[in-house]
Structure 1
């Protein structure tokens, strides 16, 4: 029955959706305020992945093997925490709502653990680092997963959800830009001062945390709670529920491929610019340039999504990424002009797929609620978060061993031409193939604007119709 309902909805014509009156647009000021918490959350991403391991190894004496083990365990813990938090948030019923209370509590855990992580006044031991990271990832999940679910609930409109995700993408990109700039400035004033660099990044996170939490929690009211909380799901049943949702699995697989391509490029970027191009002094600047243009990319792709629809815009963005990465094959050592042009283009295309796919998760959650009566929005977003984290880990696990197998040695002052050619091929073809896979996976996605308009109409009608049993 549910399959028949959804099939009918997906066959709805575009004219039917166009006949639906457009909703009131969410106020830009409130959207910006709601997106504020993305700043400290995104600002934590770059230090954890790039700076913290090196600083703890060089300045606090934590062995590299121990660091690798601790960060691996904590990433696994973060992936486990996401669906737990998502399920609990979906089931929460309180007078403060079911998203706001988790975000506020997560902010307290996140802030306290960030203070201990970025300002280790009593030194850093493996036990200390493991416990602090445990709390840090827990607080991060408590903020991020309910926030993403709430993002899909403040508007039920197909295009407005893209707009909500766009504001968050821009705020998150701005945070990453700040985190890239600050360590660069520290290196100019106090070269090699790891603790100062750590404190500056942690200071940005802590200074922005409380104001951003206040802005986010006050920006919009939470939607009314469902008449009944979502049924409690054992872990195995939750896995089967997610795996059986073909639309969600397509989005997850597509997002995994997007993030894999982005992180293969990010992992090898410094090696490529320094070793292959022979321009080590340009590595940080080009990486920064990409992020600067990436901030302006969100609104551009939002407009494209309005015109083409989310899945078509995602396909277009991924194909642009394929072309840009294939263009890198024609870059010769020392040829800065073409590399700058491709880096700028990469910035404009950056996040196109992530933006559309994130918005599509809420649409799939609506289809699931219509078919089953269960609201699993936060659970779906938590699994979406796992796919991103898994892809980030896979990128490092694929790219670095592969270029090493091809003969590239980052510590060598002069790699062979064959080794450098291998680095170029992985740097260019790896992301190109990943972005192509992402486009193929989401091509022809059936839940378009027309189908979603019918789903929302059915949900709104059901939500406003009195239950005859209760009556």
Structure 2
């Protein structure tokens, strides 16, 4: 395993020195490439799939919404179970690889069924089964993959670097699935099947390329732990909620997701109705993601200098300032909104990146305290915060702007209704990001504290060998 590493150069316990890179960058790129199909599948499932299945295959929107809601509820229970089972898996191939391979088979098969459907086979049952299988396969890939990413290095800053690779790969994949439908809309706007197939090609193509690269990138490290414990589904949720450090990270991620989802859910309404620039509605969202590709490396450098939790706080406060800046945009004038969109792209994902890097450190602290390695279980909790945050954002923001008088079906909205839309669009995310910053401010698991935890784990793990 030593051949995979370069010079050590670890930072000291002051937490101010950036360590030299240890893990080979090409291997890290191959390892992180498996994030591409997962990210590429997420946005189209929520944005394009419901409309295409409703228009092309004549399924009712109410039924499609019920299927998506049922999956969200099922995923809230299934994802922690996948994490707990992966942590307790013991095979000669490792703990993570078997789950990733099995998940890839399910995910790939279901993706083919969902994006290349035979019209005569499409029914609500067909869509529901394929959608559930896609999300199950996605969880079986992403949760062990993220857990593995937290295990290939125990170095504080190196974990940030690993998550940065995930972030960049994900941003590129999202950009690809945003650009393709936009191009098809310009060339052949009536061909929904072509749009569906193009997205499917991106997802399946990236899966076939990335899977062998990830499996061959790094060996799975052996993690000495106490004897495995059988934990019921309810017990896994209790474990997640009981750990105070994990609870702070998850609540912060929940707040981040609420802010991001509120903005995403209202941006088309805001640009179209408040700004009076409907021709910019889709373009601005795409523009934001173009600059989002460089966000990960920028925030990684900030994290190296000031530490993860401080970088997370800084990123969230930048988001607060950007969203408050929306209060000063002038209808019909794109200048300031364009500047804020670029800033949003550069700042986006800063909190997500740092929080996911922090969870591996929290799992180390938990293992030192309990003797149990629950890295995958801890990473699975992000699906809970993401799904809950999305549901709260949509469930609060849309009814709130309607209560304030905004109606997207109306020919014209009153000035009061449009101001209500502005206040919710700007202040909702600003408040959510401010709460996220407050939750991780003063986070006690610093680089110095984590170095002590890693040394204690190394000393304890060495005892049986002696």
TM-score range, shorter chain: over 0.9
| Secondary structure in 1 matching 2:13 | helix
What's 2:107 paired with?
110
Q: Structure 1 residue 231 and structure 2 residue 229: aligned?
A: yes
Q: In structure 2, how many angstroms separate the alpha carbons of the residues matched to 1:314 and 1:22?
A: 19
| Secondary structure in 2 matching 1:446 | coil
Matches within 5 A, 1:162-181: 162-181=160-179
Among 215, 218, 231, the residue aligned to 1:217: 215
What's 2:50 paired with?
53
What's 2:435 paired with?
437
Deviation digits for residues 121-142 of structure 1, max 9, x if unmatched?
1342111111111211110110
What's 1:133 paired with?
131
Structure 1 residues 347, 101: CA separation in 2 closer, same or farther (over 3 Å shift)?
same
What's 1:203 paired with?
201
| Secondary structure in 2 matching 1:16 | coil
What's 1:292 paired with?
290
Matches within 5 A, 1:323-402: 323-402=321-400
- C-alpha contact 1:92 1:229 (8 A) present in aligned 2: no
Q: In structure 1, how many angstroms separate the alpha carbons of the residues matched to 2:348 and 2:16?
A: 33
What's 1:85 paired with?
82
What's 2:182 paired with?
184
What's 1:418 paired with?
416
What's 1:26 paired with?
23
Q: In structure 2, how many angstroms separate the alpha carbons of the residues matched to 1:124 and 1:173?
A: 31
TM-score, L = length of structure 1: 0.94
Alignment gaps of 5+ in structure 1 = 1-13
Structure 1 residues 21, 354: CA separation in 2 closer, same or farther (over 3 Å shift)?
closer
What's 1:154 paired with?
152
**How big is the shift at 1:17?**
4.5
Q: In structure 2, how many angstroms separate the alpha carbons of the residues matched to 1:24 and 1:340?
A: 36
What's 1:254 paired with?
252
**How big is the shift at 1:228?**
5.1
- C-alpha contact 2:21 2:158 (8 A) present in aligned 1: no
Structure 1 residues 46, 229: CA separation in 2 closer, same or farther (over 3 Å shift)?
farther
Q: In structure 2, how many angstroms separate the alpha carbons of the residues matched to 1:18 and 1:60?
A: 57
Structure 1 residues 15, 120: CA separation in 2 closer, same or farther (over 3 Å shift)?
closer
Deviation digits for residues 379-407 of structure 1, max 9, x if unmatched?
11111221112111221111111111111
Q: In structure 1, how many angstroms separate the alpha carbons of the residues matched to 2:241 and 2:420?
A: 37
Q: In structure 1, how many angstroms separate the alpha carbons of the residues matched to 2:17 and 2:195?
A: 53
Structure 1 residues 37, 21: CA separation in 2 closer, same or farther (over 3 Å shift)?
closer
Over the residues paired in the alignment, what is the CA RMSD in angstroms?
1.6
| Secondary structure in 2 matching 1:342 | helix
What's 2:6 paired with?
none
Structure 1 residues 15, 217: CA separation in 2 closer, same or farther (over 3 Å shift)?
closer
Structure 1 residues 18, 140: CA separation in 2 closer, same or farther (over 3 Å shift)?
closer
Q: In structure 2, how many angstroms separate the alpha carbons of the residues matched to 1:192 and 1:424?
A: 33
Structure 1 residues 165, 18: CA separation in 2 closer, same or farther (over 3 Å shift)?
closer
Alignment gaps of 5+ in structure 2 = 1-10
| Secondary structure in 2 matching 1:444 | coil
**How big is the shift at 1:21?**
11
Deviation digits for residues 246-277 of structure 1, max 9, x if unmatched?
10000000000001101100011111111111
| Secondary structure in 1 matching 2:216 | helix
- C-alpha contact 2:156 2:361 (8 A) present in aligned 1: yes
Q: Structure 1 residue 16 and structure 2 residue 13: aligned?
A: yes
Q: After the TM superposition, which segments of 4 or more aligned residues of structure 1 sit over 4 Å from their partners?
A: 17-24
TM-score, L = length of structure 2: 0.95
Q: In structure 1, how many angstroms separate the alpha carbons of the residues matched to 2:278 and 2:126?
A: 35
Deviation digits for residues 124-178 of structure 1, max 9, x if unmatched?
2111111111211110110010011001001100100000000100100100000
- C-alpha contact 1:293 1:347 (8 A) present in aligned 2: yes
Please identify, of 385-394 and 58-67, the stretch whose mean Cα deviation from structure 2 is larger: 385-394
Among 307, 310, 320, the residue aligned to 2:308: 310
What's 1:7 paired with?
none
| Secondary structure in 1 matching 2:338 | helix
Please identify, of 237-246 and 260-269, the stretch whose mean Cα deviation from structure 2 is larger: 237-246
Q: In structure 2, how many angstroms separate the alpha carbons of the residues matched to 1:123 and 1:402?
A: 39
